[in-house]
Amino acid sequence: MEAIGLFYGSTHGMTEKAAMKIKKALGGTIVDVYDLKNASIEDIQKYNNLIFGTSAWGIGEMQDDWELFVDNLSVVDFSDRKVALYGLGDQMEYPESFVDGLGTLYCRLPDKSRVVGSWPVEGYNYYFSLAEKDGAFVGLVLDDHNQADLSEKRIAEWVKQLKKEFK
C-alpha cells in the first residue's frame, strides 16, 4: 500500500486522538498525520491515499479548520486518488445533527467518486445525520462522548476495509 496522508481538524483534541489511533491501526510509519491548521494544499497533493477527519459543530458545520480550508481542495486532481473520511460527534447531545460535519465534508469534496470507507449506521442512536447516504455513513463515525469503549474496535474494522480499498 502507498503512503497515506491523514489530515484532521480538531477543536478539543478528540478528532486528533482518533487520528493517532487510526495511524497506529494502519501500521504507523505508512501514515503521515497533519493537523489541518498547519497543512497546505501541497501537503495533500503528496498522497494518493488520503484520510480526512472532522468533528461536527453548529448546524451542519465542519470543524473550523475545515471550514477555512475546504475550498482549496478544488485545485486537487482526485482522479488518481482515494479518499476516506471519518467524523466525530455526540449522538446524545446532537441526535438531530449527528456527525453533520462529516456529511458536509463529503458534500464539499470536489470529486466524490473516489471516496472509500463507508460505514454501517447500525449501533448508533440518532434521528438525523447529514453523513448518512443510501443507508450508510459516508465514512467512519466515532462518538467518544457516549461510545468511547467501541472506538478501538470500530477503527480496527474500518482500517481492515481501507487496506483493501486504498491503492
Nearest to 41 by CA among 2, 80, 77: 77
Binding ligand FMN (rule: CB under 6 A), the pick from 23, 26, 48, 55 is 55
Nearest-angstrom CA–CA distance, 112 and 150: 28
Residue 99, interface with ligand FMN (CB under 6 A)? yes
CA distances from 117 to 12, 60, 86, 120 (A): 25, 21, 9, 10
Q: Tell me the residue type at 23.
A: K
End-to-end Cα separation, the chain, in angstroms: 6
**From candidates 86, 98, 106, 119, binder to ligand FMN by CB under 6 A:** 98
Q: Hey, what's the cell of 133?
A: 447516504
CB of 36 to ligand FMN, least distance (A): 11
Q: How far is the CB of 58 from ligand FMN (least distance, A)?
A: 6
Select from 7, 94, 119, 137 the one that contacts ligand FMN (CB under 6 A).
94
Please, which of residues 143-162 interact with ligand FMN by CB under 6 A? 144
Q: Which is nearer to ligand FMN, 48 or 91 (CB)?
A: 91
Regarding 104 and contact with ligand FMN (CB under 6 A), the answer is no
> Restricting to residues 116-145, which ones interact with ligand FMN according to CB under 6 A?
144
Select the residue interacting with ligand FMN from 1, 13, 120, 160 (CB under 6 A).
13
Q: What distance in Å separates the CA atoms of residue 136 and residue 118, rounded to the nearest whole number?
A: 7
CA torsion angle 149 153 156 158 (round to 10): -100
Tell me: does residue 103 bind ligand FMN (CB under 6 A): no
Rounded-to-integer distance, Cα 159 and Cα 147, Å:
18
Amino acid at 5: G
- Smallest separation, CB 61 to ligand FMN (Å): 7
Rule CB under 6 A: which residues touch ligand FMN?
Answer: 10-15, 55-58, 63, 88-90, 94, 97-100, 144
